[in-house]
Amino acid sequence: MGDLLKDKVIFLTGGSMGIGLECARKYLEEGARVVIAANDEESLHQAASALRIRMDDCMFCDVTNAATVQWAIEKTILRYGKINVVHNNAGIAHPAKTLHDTADHEWDLLFDVNVKSILLTTRFAIGSLKKTKGCIINTSSLVGEIGQEDHAAYAATKGAVNALTRSMALDYAPYGVRVNAVAPAGVWTDMLRKWAASLDDPQAMASYLDQIHPLGYCPQGDVIGDACVFLASDKASFITGSVMPVSGGAELGYRSMKRKTEIQ
């Protein structure tokens, strides 16, 4: 247990599973109070049990709905008196389609969950963040910079998250509020494992996910949590507008298969 985040109150969307759950775990280990907002009742109960936190700190919240986001943030402030960090982690990646095959409702849902949710949390939390000189962390993705086959709409939302992060950083810097993002490549989550297991050749997918990271393996969500702890802490007090790759070097370019063979 550490104290990097002692006495900080963190409002975390999409924190009941996957990367969000690992971030919540890391935040708690560093002394923060964490309020999780998600729209899946079962996973909220599981998160409360796994993290050993009160169910009152696991709020059912549709991040695309202004009224429920306002309610969750106001309830957090009423309980703890402040918010130091808003971590916008909630996100979806489906459908896996080319752009012309993407239906209007699929496009709208992607942008509502991945982008509009940032608008809503900021709208209702910025007053408290100004008082605490807090920070905002957005979970982006490497595909927001490099693109992804059959995920044009998803990649577009993450490109929007990156642009928002930089523009928000400029808007809120005069108030001492920092805004940064983390950009993973592949990350093993329960959802990814289930999807990989459903494929004809799960091992081939596992090998592919290892190979896209120059450090040689696809990580667990805890590495993203470690980066977010740093960005949420006073150790990052002079960092804003950054989209931080947490990707094992996946953004650095293609590697020679010959060199890969030699290393092995």
In the set 154, 172, 208, 254, the catalytic residue is 154
Contact between 150 and 96 under an 8 Å Cβ cutoff? The reply is yes
The answer to whether residue 154 is catalytic is yes
Distance in angstroms (rounded) separating the CA atoms of residues 162 and 249: 18
Contact between 14 and 72 under an 8 Å Cβ cutoff? The reply is no
Contact between 226 and 253 under an 8 Å Cβ cutoff? The reply is no
Six token digits for residue 90? 């909630």
CA atoms within 13 A on the CB side of 194: 4
CA atoms within 13 A on the CB side of 86: 31
CB neighbour list of residue 139: distance below 8 Å, 6 or more residues apart = 14, 19, 20, 87, 88, 89, 91, 161, 181, 182, 184, 224
Radius of gyration of the chain (CA): 18
| Residues labelled catalytic | 154
